[in-house]
Amino acid sequence: MRKSFLLITCAGTLLLMAAQTKPKPVPKKVLENGKKVYDTYCLPCHQQDGSGVPNMTPGLVKTTWVTGDKKRLVELIIKGMKGVEVDGETYDNVMAAHDYLTDQEIADVTTYIRNSFGNKASLIAPAEVKAIRAKIK
């Protein structure tokens, strides 16, 4: 009993440590390109610093959408969204579909927002975007 408890605690601690080790640093080029995409397509609504517009457009600072599940984030960029609650608030503007962006552009911009405005989350690769996009119909 005791032993297995110890083991579990050890494994738990290890897991926690693994989760806390910083995600690999994102290549500068990805961030630069991601910023370019962001400034062209996202900034008009989400604002320069990702702070959003009260009642209209949610901010991108530490929201569950930005830093959470990659698939949900990539799908949102491709399909757009309207009238869905974001962290307990509703917003009146529409998030347009961005299906015309390339896999590379979506990978770079999602990686950029996950690593800007105070966010820190793992990189999203073009191959991941490609796989997620293939499943959307």
Partner 1 sequence: MKRIGGLLSALLLTGFTVWANDTTQVKLRRGKRIPAEVNGGITLPAGFKAVVVADTVGRARHIVTAANGDLYVMLFRLKNGKGILRLRDTNKDGVADQVTSFGNYAGTGITIKDGYLYASSNKEVFRYKLNEQQEVINPESPERIITGLIDRNTHNTKSLVLDNEGNIYVNIGAPSNACQIEDRKKGSPSPDPCPLLDSVGGVWQFKADKLNQSYPEGIRYATGIRNIMGLDWNQATNSLYAMQHGRDNLNSLFPELYNEDESAELPAEELFRINKGDDFGWPYCYFDWQQNKKVLAPEYGGDKKKEGRCADKKKPIYAFPGHWAPNALLFYTGNQFPEKYRNGAFVAFHGSWNRAPKPQAGYFVVFLPFKDGMPSGDYEIFADGFAGGFREPAKSLYRPCGLAQGPDGSLYISDDKKGRLWKVMYTNK
Which residue, 11 or 72, has its beta carbon nearer to ligand HEC?
72
Pick one of ligand HEC, partner 1, none as the site partner of residue 129 (Cβ within 5 to 8 A by kind). Answer: none
DSSP 56-87: TB---SS-HHHHS-HHHHHHHHHH-B-S--BT
Cβ proximity to partner 1: between 60 and 123 the closer is 60
Residue 12 phi, psi (nearest 5): -60, -45
| 82 versus 120: smaller Cβ distance to ligand HEC | 82
Please give the single-letter amino acid code of residue 26: V
What are the residues binding partner 1 (CB under 8 A)? Answer: 39-41, 43-45, 47-48, 51-57, 59, 80, 82-83, 90-94, 96-98, 100
Q: Does 96 bind ligand HEC (CB under 6 A)?
A: yes
Among 35, 36, 98, 133, binds ligand HEC (CB under 6 A): 98
Nearest CA-CA partner of 46 in 29, 63, 65, 59: 59
